[in-house]
Amino acid sequence: MSQPLEEMLRIEGGRVLATLVRLTGDFQLAEDALQEAVLVALQKWPHEGTPSNPAAWLTTTAKNKALDRIRREARRPEKEEEAVRLLDGAPAQPPDGQDDRLRLLFTCCHPALSMDARVALALRTIGGLTTAEIARAFLVSEPAMGQRISRAKQKIKAAHIPYRVPEDHELPDRLPAVLGTVYLIFTTGHHAPAGRLDARVDLSREAVRLARLLFELMPDVNECAGLLALLLATHARHRTRLDESGRLVLLADQDRSQWDGAAIAEATALLDATLKRRSAGPYQVQAAIACLHSAAPTYAATDWEQIVMLYRQLEHYLPTAVVRVNRAVAEAELAGPERGLELLATVEGTARWHMWWSAKADFLRRLNRTVEAAHAYREALSCEMNDSDRRFLEGRLGDLVAASDS
């Protein structure tokens, strides 16, 4: 099978599935019917040619497959009649004009579902990834992931989680779950928990695609633009983060000429447009930080003053350990490593987090407190992390030990 056909079916599939879920009101039935339609497409299209509107073709075929299934499985004739009437008479276009994929995304990311379930469902239904692919990305077995997905679908059905886009006044409650899901998919891809740092970079690409879809469907919601800008500006730097041996390269030492200038420009433009609408949020602030880093011609020319200010603002929204450690690193660029150490000391619950130890080790190294720095690197290395981060920290510790021996 040719790659483009597979890719097209995957992308069109998300759109078709979204429509089928609306028409049938049943995730599992919609998915089974789509799968059958895709099989027919794979048999027919290579020699009969791709239809002019593949999505419409897939929708009609899948709708018929769904009807077949309902007829086969209906235990009561009234149920069958009702389903046939619903499916046959239903217009392919949603009555409220909302894109079905947006509806699907809000349902898959409903706050009544666990974050694990949201991520898996979004990737499965909108992203079109297979259960095996999602299982690999999140380091769980395929049966366990399959169970997670089917439980979530079961809950949507039994608890009647609605298939709709929330009203404007509900968005403050509902949007964070959707944005958070896409962001988690991105960070899992951008910073793989195990193996090489870039082992799951396909997940980052998928997250950028989802963020773009969300922005296209809700262009007036600032945080949607903010999330897309954040992902674009961050993903733009992904190619230069490792050396040939797979070891992490710090921002200061990366080859900036290899960054994706078009993506950075797009992120900056998105962010500029949101500033005019004056409604900030955590994704816009993070995007602003990412854009400042990506737009700096050299590390030395980075606008640390602005970045520190933004981190202080971000900490106001998200007082998490990640944000506070990042803020400490930025403040140390302005006010020196002592300031960084002071701030790190106030972050709690990080005893087993390698990034806290590695930030501390770096501050101590810069202050020539070699023995303490070596201790901090060893503590960092005793935590769990991916191979790229580990190779980097081992290198730093090795340099430190070699320097103090000579």
Residues that bind another protein (CB under 8 A): 75-76, 110, 112, 158-162, 166, 170
Nearest approach in angstroms of CB 159 to another protein is 5
Helices (H), 191-221: 201-217
- CB-count exposure of residue 379 (10 Å: 0-12, 13-18, 19+): middle
Minimum distance of another protein from residue 164's CB (angstroms): 8
Q: Which residues contact 308 (CB under 8 A, 6 or more apart)?
A: 327, 330, 331, 333, 334
The end-to-end CA distance of the chain, in Å, is 60
CB of 177 to another protein, least distance (A): 13
| Least gap, CB of 113 to another protein (angstroms) | 10
Closest separation between CB of residue 154 and another protein, Å? 11
Is the Cβ of residue 172 or residue 261 nearer to another protein in the bound state?
172
Q: Which is nearer to another protein, 147 or 154 (CB)?
A: 154
**Would you say 75 or 278 has its CB closer to another protein?**
75
CA atoms within 13 A on the CB side of 259: 24
Q: Strand, coil or helix: what is 249?
A: coil
Both tokens of 355, joined, read 């990034």
Residue 167 CB, nearest approach to another protein (Å) = 10
Taking the complex as a whole, the smallest distance from the CB of residue 15 to another protein amounts, in Å, to 24
Considering the complex, what minimum distance in angstroms separates the CB of residue 12 from another protein? Answer: 29
Query: What is the 3-class SS of 326-347, one letter each residue?
Result: HHHHHHHHHHCHHHHHHHHHCC
Q: How far apart are CB 166 and another protein at their closest, in Å?
A: 8
User: For residues 365 and 344, what is the distance between their CA atoms, to the nearest angstrom?
Assistant: 15
**Closer residue to another protein (CB): 110 or 396:** 110
Q: Which residues lie below 8 Å from residue 214, measured CB to CB, with a gap of 6+?
A: 102, 105, 178, 179, 182, 224, 227, 228
Q: Smaller CB distance to another protein: residue 1 or 158?
A: 158
Contact indicator for 267, 232 with CB cutoff of 8 Å: yes
Residue 21 Cβ vs another protein, minimum distance, rounded to whole Å: 14
d(C-alpha 237, C-alpha 267), whole Å: 12
52 CB burial (10 A radius; 0-12, 13-18, 19+): exposed
CA distances from 394 to 155, 198, 230, 244, 380 (A): 46, 19, 30, 16, 10
Phi, psi of 248 (to 5 degrees): -60, 135
Q: What minimum distance in Å lies between the beta carbon of 221 and another protein?
A: 19
Q: Which two tokens stand for residue 240?
A: 């230069």
Beta strands in 249-379 (DSSP E): none
CA distance 199 to 358: 22
Q: Which of 339, 374, 334, 371 is nearest to 357 (CA)?
A: 374
